[in-house]
Amino acid sequence: MSIQYRPGRIQSINADQEIILKQFYACLLKYFGYEIDISVEDIVYKECFISSTRTTELSESGYSSLNYGLVRTGTRDSTTSSHISHKTSASSYSTLNKKKKAGILKRGKKSSNVEEELHAPESSPRMKFIQSQSSFEKYQPIDINPRYAHVFCNYYKQNFDNSEEYMSDNEDSGDVESIESFVTAETYVETPDYSQFKSGKATSSSSSFETESFNVKPITDKFPEIGNFDNRKLHKALCDAPRNDAFDNFILRFVRARKFKTKDALAMIGKSAEWRVSTFKPDEWVREGDALSYVTGKNPGFIKNFTTQKSYVRGVDKDSNPIFFFKAKLHLISDAPLADTQRFAVYTIESCRLFLRDINESVDTCSIVFDLTGFSLKNADYNAIKFLAEVFEAHYPECLGKVLIFNAPWIFSTVWNVIKNWLDPVVASKIHFTKDFKELNKFIDKKWIPDYMGGDDTYAGEYPVPSERDATYMKPRDGEFVRLMRERDALLLKMLTTTKKWVESTSPEISDRYLQDKLDLNAEMANNYIKLDPYLRFAGFYDRNGSLTVRC
């Protein structure tokens, strides 16, 4: 598969970006209590991480993206993939490292995109290990790290068998074994030593392992930005949020949004994770959709936002981004309390994520068209607009394609003078004012422009009224659901294990192989979600009107 990936994605990061991503992941793994063979003292030094062969070649070539697919052409155990050129050998590591230092790590020359560099002392154990062991490192085929599984199941209780959705093994789930069974079957299952991370008491039994909380003082001394967040909430949010997109690209959104500054990205993702599991419930809301509220009569303001037929997702722009259309004249502040409108906004953003095609087409942003035809001040919902501006900046970074404002009347200038001060500069740079069909057509093909805006599309956002059947999961939960959920547990743990090996790697070639394993796992996780999706969601607005086909 030949795909031109957008810059800064896991499929197209350059060497400097990969090193910062490795540092970011090393901090997260330490914070979560997953063992990693790099000391807290050395994590602060970017020189203690090695870039992979392909990302180094990308940096040297000057290109911002490559045609690397997510499907390996050989086997997972093969030494190379036929579409990857391995020009860097272990013997050339010192030359590679010099080139790398001549880039963002060069003393005295700070890149505008990275934090001020610290340099590892000569006594650094990690630097000594890299220098002595890089040529001896061997690739190890990926399997689940039992200690990672232990923490995953017994501290975070993140596996399916610990979830509220757990179904008894009496269901016809085939021969799929739970992760807890995998941990129990290990010959050395014992409570790992978490003394440097935990406070509170832990039992000696792995099956009932529990602590009050991890005290991550060793890592927060160096990275205090992450120290204020509950590690359980952050762990749950990062496991639950990725769907049919690439797991790594979900993480990279936050790193890119903070211009590859590790500390800033840690602070951002921590705040957003707490928002996802505490302040708002976007994962629950997108699963429930609108049907249950409609059938039961709950959340009437939330439903009013649908029945006014003021917005919908339809078609793609000329960059292949899905388009969200919003008819401003149909939005009235009096229609719904702010909380219901906020829920509608978050549900809509999460629904738009399901239209993305991150892996096979590198489409990971959505464009918005605000139709201001007939707009008046009674449609100017400042609280809702401010909420949207804050949410996109803080919790959905790098999700916007273009924002097209169509046919704005003169009165909108008054509103614009207020709201433009709330916009993040990156968001503001994506806004384009289009006064008529001709200007809108520069961004969107005629067939996807609504007829009421001068195009050919006759769809106007009609609301498909849900039935009682729509107020439950699209597929009844059965043995296949159990199998897929346990498969997801295994894929998440393989991703964590692979990330550990990739971060720790001292050889560009071996790091490259682990990076390819991560690419493969991103695709497997996305495809697993696509199969799970009808078991996890009620039939929402876009399922019922036939516009949504979840792909990757």
Q: Sketch the domain layout of the chain as residue ranges.
A: 15-281+476-536, 293-465
For position 544, what pLDDT does the model report?
A: 97
Q: What is the pLDDT of residue 184?
A: 55
pLDDT given at position 201: 32
Lookup: tokens for 318: 């000329």
pLDDT for position 85: 33
The domain covering 293-465 belongs, at the CATH homologous superfamily level, to CRAL-TRIO lipid binding domain (3.40.525.10)
pTM of the entire predicted model? 0.86
Q: Which token pair is 6?
A: 């957008």
Place of tokens 């998440």: 492
* Per-position pLDDT tens, the chain of length 552: 578 999 999 999 999 999 999 999 999 999 999 999 999 999 999 999 999 999 988 877 654 433 333 333 233 333 333 233 333 333 333 334 444 443 333 333 444 454 566 788 888 999 999 999 888 999 999 899 999 999 999 999 999 999 888 876 545 555 567 776 665 544 333 444 434 333 333 333 334 444 444 555 668 888 888 878 889 999 999 999 999 999 999 999 999 999 999 999 999 999 999 999 888 899 999 999 999 999 999 999 999 999 999 999 999 999 999 999 999 999 999 999 999 999 999 999 999 999 999 999 999 999 999 999 999 999 999 999 999 999 999 999 999 999 999 999 999 999 999 999 999 898 999 999 999 999 999 999 999 999 999 999 999 999 999 999 999 999 999 999 999 999 999 999 999 999 999 999 999 999 999 999 999 999 999 999 999 999 999 999 999 999 999 999
CA dist 421 → 166, 387, 400, 409 (Å): 47, 13, 18, 20
Residue closest to 55 by CA, chosen among 24, 122, 114, 100: 100
pLDDT value at position 99? 42
Q: Where are the alpha helices (DSSP H) in 33-115?
A: 40-43, 53-61, 93-101
pLDDT for position 183:
59
| pLDDT (0 to 100) of residue 452 | 95
C-alpha distance from residue 543 to each of 244, 375, 466, 469 (Å): 16, 30, 10, 13
Q: Is 39 helix (H, G, I), strand (E, B) or coil?
A: coil
